[in-house]
Amino acid sequence: MKNSIKPAITLSLAAAVAGIFAAAPVAAQSQAPIKVGFMLPATGTYANLGNMIENGFKMYVNEQGGKLGGREIQYFKVDDESDPAKATDNVNKLIKRDQVDVVVGTVHSGVALAMAKVARETKTLLIVPNAGADVITGAMCAPNIFRTSFTNWQPAYAMGKVAADRGHKKIMTITWNYAAGNESVKGFQEGFEKAGGKVTESLTLPFPNVEYQALLTQIASQKPDAVYAFFAGGGAVKFVKDYVAAGLNKTIPLYGPGFLTDGTLEAQGEAAQGMITTLHYADNLNTPRDNAFRLNFAKAYKANADVYAVQGYDAAQLLATGLKSVNGDFSKRDQMLKAMGSATIDSPRGKFTLSPAHNPIQDIYLREVKGINNEVKGVAIKALADPARGCKQS
């Protein structure tokens, strides 16, 4: 008797214990934090841009009480140095070493291209909060890759139209010779030439070189109607100042996508006054949503919000949409990705939806620099969708 009872008790005990242990991972999993890996520049010409993105992201999470979809958020970080040569190793630090659930990054298109390749191969969720490389939401589009910023084509194409509308016929371009600069010039050329203008010459220098003098001399001798430039961060500050110091702005107006004057105006000062740019954000939209965002940002970080802060904030909003749709259960991946793809993001820039390629469909504002603000003058192109050339996703 004893013998026959004992195993039964042992078995049921074992079953109970096994049950506890079996339940444990599920309970732990639903409470474990979601691991967010920031891959952003913390050094170099784009360092401040990376900082604004991170602050914007964290501000949204803090506004939600530190949780998205009921899950705490835990952060991991890598400084990508805006160096494409180190990008694959850097993103693998987050994915393989830190085992993050989602990678958020980056600023530099060349680095982002390497990240997107790894994200496609490993199926890691990637949210791009800046880098505009067209191909990321073009031929490389994927169900697990999203962007809350822009394609390089979007503000550039809009500026081409604006420059033609302003009566310019012959324009020279100048930029860094890498994906973002080259695609920006190409997008501008498409918009400008479609409207009857002609890009007469395209000047480049290597990223992140800021020795502009020889190229400015070339512009002075060729006397185009205007110049279109793509630079950003520290490089944009110096370019705008050098352009004015060379006296070129008196006869040859300088245009660009809004990166040329966003987050840079305190450093550019007098030199940037009156500049016209196109971008998916402006400093005085004066909507309740944007006003609240800017006030909170200024309080939290003692700095004026800019386009990069908005893009980081919206990356967190997009992740929140996905996590909420599955009540924080990251294993319901398909459902989560679907909810993200069909999200309407209540952005400080104005509400936007994503294209089938997962890039924002958004208004491109026409802005003018006044003091330390890029003031909105109107909408250059409404609800502009990138053509997403080569994307097979619908």
Strands 170-176 and 125-128: unpaired
Q: How far is the CB of 359 from ligand PHB (least distance, A)?
A: 13
Instruction: Look up residue 297 and give its two tokens.
Output: 């940002």
- What span, in angstroms and rounded, lies between the C-alpha atoms of 358 and 364? 17
Nearer to ligand PHB, 34 or 78 (CB): 78
Nearer to ligand PHB, 230 or 293 (CB): 230
The pair phi, psi for residue 334, each rounded to 5°, is -60, -40
Q: How far is the CB of 90 from ligand PHB (least distance, A)?
A: 16
Nearer to ligand PHB, 184 or 189 (CB): 184
Beta-carbon contacts of residue 221 (< 8 Å; ≥ 6 apart)? none
CB 279 within 8 A of CB 365: yes
- What span, in angstroms and rounded, lies between the C-alpha atoms of 283 and 272? 15
List residues near ligand PHB by CB under 6 A.
46, 107-109, 130-133, 152, 180, 232, 259
- What span, in angstroms and rounded, lies between the C-alpha atoms of 128 and 386? 15
Outline where DSSP puts E strands in the chain: 34-40, 67-68, 71-79, 102-104, 125-128, 145-147, 170-176, 198-205, 226-230, 254-257, 276-279, 344-345, 352-354, 360-370, 373-384
Nearer to ligand PHB, 187 or 253 (CB): 187
Q: How far is the CB of 26 from ligand PHB (least distance, A)?
A: 41
Q: How far is the CB of 142 from ligand PHB (least distance, A)?
A: 18
Nearer to ligand PHB, 108 or 358 (CB): 108
Nearer to ligand PHB, 107 or 116 (CB): 107
Q: How far is the CB of 96 from ligand PHB (least distance, A)?
A: 25
Q: CA 116: distance to chain centroid?
A: 13
CB 378 within 8 A of CB 366: yes
Q: How far is the CB of 181 from ligand PHB (least distance, A)?
A: 8
Sign of CA dihedral 286, 309, 280, 383: negative
Nearer to ligand PHB, 49 or 61 (CB): 49
Going by C-alpha positions, the residue among 98, 95, 97, 99 that lies closest to residue 120 is 95
Q: How far is the CB of 30 from ligand PHB (least distance, A)?
A: 37
Q: How far is the CB of 231 from ligand PHB (least distance, A)?
A: 8
Nearer to ligand PHB, 131 or 318 (CB): 131
Please give the single-letter amino acid code of residue 330: F
CB 311 within 8 A of CB 53: yes
